[in-house]
């Protein structure tokens, strides 16, 4: 079956995916969270097809790894240019398929462009080291070499940016890629693949099958995960998924780069500037309808100001509930839908669970049901607690934010670090001592001062500790995960070579 003919979105989809027909089939129905309607139906890759794709990726790697780094960078530069041209269309498709508001859809495509720019520069800077040798006339070096086909498994909530964080770096590092996008957002993956193929068409230095897409769910993903020909699996998604994948990749001595769930908190001290803090909480808590790995799930507030903070937030939530929930394609909307009914039910269950412990709950429940009976719009929920309990330890991928009191900064950090995840953290304070204490003691991969937990730039290494998986993607030296590190010693003398540690071995 092809794109639903009556769909108002059909034209956009076929503009971005000219070969949609060849990908169509009865296996995987794609729904838009905007109104819950079916927008496409795709064929899932068979085991044999996946096997062949991996074999082709191995061949592509062999050829691509021989192309000089700066020429590989030129491909990524052109990809960035193509994304600039398609930004508005691709942003719309992101919005259509995952439900984030159009402004955030644009931000997501901008992130792709930014990482392309970063990777272009990187293509001339894949630096190794020269190391002093203890032996005369010896040279020691550390070299970085292309790794192999990289398997990319991505989550629904950043359906295209996560691929670009991985692929832009993998390409300049000399690797081929195979992408298994979320089964909830396969169209954006096909669109990005089509954009890249348009660039590759005029780039003869690149081999065929440098980038391929596998359509499917966990089953198809598992085949990629278990294949020894794929040395690196970069997987973004839930902790449950990461636990399964991490063990399987380790069992075959592969490498994994895991970017998993968060349970992010912001600490508000009595020295906070609330004019800075409140908007930051709101974007982190209700932005993307609470479906970012970096969404603000907990706000830990000094007891002396918790009433004031809660009331300010309550007022803002009431106004959002009244005016700002709606179709993510509408420019006035700030809160779009949840991805599907399962996500809504998980939100409902989490609120039921916390009810006996809550001092007050603002929001929760279904919104816009009459207008969109098949979609899952909700009222973002603010839950005031007397203390943090284990009920909040689980990441609920929905707009629920818990407000929790503390008395000392040491206690705030204990509350903060008590959850099993360790992705993003923030403090709101104008006191440098508090800020530095926080940075030293938060156990997260991201530690922000006077900005919220969500909305990272690509220049830094992105990722978190503990159950967030420990991986780092995107900026800084994250590229090293996509290369093979080699230590090399060369002797250029003419005498009998010396052994390390001064060992004599005279024969």
Query: 271 in helix, strand or coil?
Result: coil
Choice among 74, 97, 108, 259 that is catalytic: 259
Compute the CA torsion angle 36, 42, 43, 47 (nearest 10 deg).
-70
Place of tokens 């590229």: 479
| Cα 245–chain centre separation | 16
Q: How far apart are CA 266 and CA 494, in angstroms?
A: 64
The answer to whether 173 is a known catalytic residue is no
Q: How far apart are CA 302 and CA 150, in angstroms?
A: 46
**Segment interacting with ligand NAD, rule: CB under 6 A, options 57-65, 128-136, 218-226, 350-358:** 218-226
Query: DSSP letter at 488?
Result: E
The verdict on 31 binding ligand NAD (CB under 6 A) reads no
Q: How far apart are CA 305 and CA 291, in angstroms?
A: 28
Residues contacting 11, CB < 8 A, separation 6+: none
Exactly one of 61, 64, 118, 156 binds ligand NAD (CB under 6 A); which one? Answer: 156
Q: What is the CA radius of gyration of the chain?
A: 25
* Binding residues among 35-94 for ligand NAD as defined by CB under 6 A: none
The verdict on 217 binding ligand NAD (CB under 6 A) reads yes
What minimum distance in Å lies between the beta carbon of 49 and ligand NAD?
A: 16
Q: Which is nearer to ligand NAD, 64 or 158 (CB)?
A: 158
Q: Which is nearer to ligand NAD, 101 or 316 (CB)?
A: 101
Choice among 116, 173, 289, 293 that is catalytic: 293
Exactly one of 241, 281, 381, 483 binds ligand NAD (CB under 6 A); which one? Answer: 241
The verdict on 468 binding ligand NAD (CB under 6 A) reads yes
The verdict on 165 binding ligand NAD (CB under 6 A) reads no
The verdict on 238 binding ligand NAD (CB under 6 A) reads yes
* Binding residues among 359-418 for ligand NAD as defined by CB under 6 A: 395, 397
Quote the strand ranges of 280-438, DSSP E.
Answer: 296-302, 358-362, 366-367, 377-378, 381-385, 400-406, 421-422, 424-428
What minimum distance in Å lies between the beta carbon of 397 and ligand NAD?
A: 5
Exactly one of 10, 139, 218, 447 binds ligand NAD (CB under 6 A); which one? Answer: 218
The answer to whether 49 is a known catalytic residue is no
The verdict on 221 binding ligand NAD (CB under 6 A) reads yes
Q: How far is CA 24 from CA 3, 41, 42, 182, 213, in A?
A: 8, 6, 4, 16, 14
The verdict on 419 binding ligand NAD (CB under 6 A) reads no
What minimum distance in Å lies between the beta carbon of 215 and ligand NAD?
A: 10
Residue 477: CA count within 13 A, CB half-sphere: 5
Residues forming contacts to ligand NAD in the complex (CB under 6 A) are 153-158, 180, 182-183, 217-218, 221-222, 225, 236-238, 241, 244-245, 259-262, 293, 395, 397, 423, 468
> Which positions are annotated as active-site residues?
259, 293
């Amino acid at each position: 079956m092809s794109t639903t003919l009556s769909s108002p979105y059909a034209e956009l989809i076929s503009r971005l995916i000219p070969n949609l027909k060849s990908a169509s089939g009865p296996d995987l129905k794609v729904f838009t969270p905007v109104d819950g309607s079916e927008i496409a139906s795709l064929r899932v890759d068979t085991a044999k097809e996946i096997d062949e794709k991996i074999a082709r990726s191995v061949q592509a790697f062999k050829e691509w790894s021989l192309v000089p780094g700066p020429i590989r960078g030129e491909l990524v530069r052109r990809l960035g240019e193509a994304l600039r041209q398609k930004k508005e269309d691709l942003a719309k498709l992101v919005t259509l398929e995952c439900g984030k508001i159009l402004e955030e859809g644009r931000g997501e495509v901008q992130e792709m462009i930014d990482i392309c720019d970063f990777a272009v520069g990187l293509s001339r800077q894949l630096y190794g080291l020269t190391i002093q040798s203890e032996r005369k006339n010896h040279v020691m070096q550390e070299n970085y070499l292309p790794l192999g086909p990289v398997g990319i498994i991505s989550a629904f909530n950043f359906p295209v940016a996560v691929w670009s964080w991985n692929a832009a770096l993998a390409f300049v590092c000399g690797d081929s890629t195979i992408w298994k996008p979320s089964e909830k957002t396969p169209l954006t993956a096909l669109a990005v693949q089509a954009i890249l193929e348009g660039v590759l068409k005029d780039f003869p230095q690149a081999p065929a099958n440098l980038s391929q897409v596998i359509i499917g769910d966990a089953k198809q993903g598992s085949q990629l995960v278990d294949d020894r020909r794929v040395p690196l699996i970069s997987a973004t998604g839930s902790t449950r998924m990461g636990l399964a994948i991490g063990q399987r990749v380790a069992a075959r001595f592969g490498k994994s780069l895991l970017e998993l769930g968060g349970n992010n908190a912001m600490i508000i001290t009595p020295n906070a500037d609330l004019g800075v803090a409140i908007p930051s909480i709101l974007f982190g808590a209700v932005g993307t309808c609470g479906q970012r790995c970096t969404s603000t799930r907990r706000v830990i507030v000094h007891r002396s100001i918790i009433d004031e903070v809660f009331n300010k937030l309550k007022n803002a939530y009431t106004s959002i509930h009244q005016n700002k929930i709606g179709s993510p394609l509408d420019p006035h909307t700030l809160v779009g839908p949840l991805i599907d009914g399962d996500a809504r039910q998980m939100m409902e269950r989490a609120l039921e669970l916390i009810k006996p412990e809550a001092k007050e709950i603002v929001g929760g429940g279904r919104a816009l049901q009459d207008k969109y009976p098949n979609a899952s719009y909700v009222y973002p929920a603010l839950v005031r607690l007397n203390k943090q309990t284990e009920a909040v330890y689980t990441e609920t991928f929905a707009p629920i934010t818990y407000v929790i009191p503390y008395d000392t900064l040491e206690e705030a950090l204990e509350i903060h670090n008590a959850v099993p995840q360790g992705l993003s953290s923030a403090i709101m304070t104008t006191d440098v001592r508090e800020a530095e204490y926080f940075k030293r003691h938060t156990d997260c991969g991201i530690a922000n001062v006077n900005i919220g937990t969500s909305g990272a730039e690509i220049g830094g290494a992105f990722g978190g500790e503990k159950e967030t998986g420990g991986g780092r993607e995107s900026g800084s030296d994250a590229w090293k995960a996509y290369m093979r590190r080699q230590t090399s010693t060369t002797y250029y003398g003419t005498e009998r070579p010396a052994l390390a540690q001064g060992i004599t071995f005279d024969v």
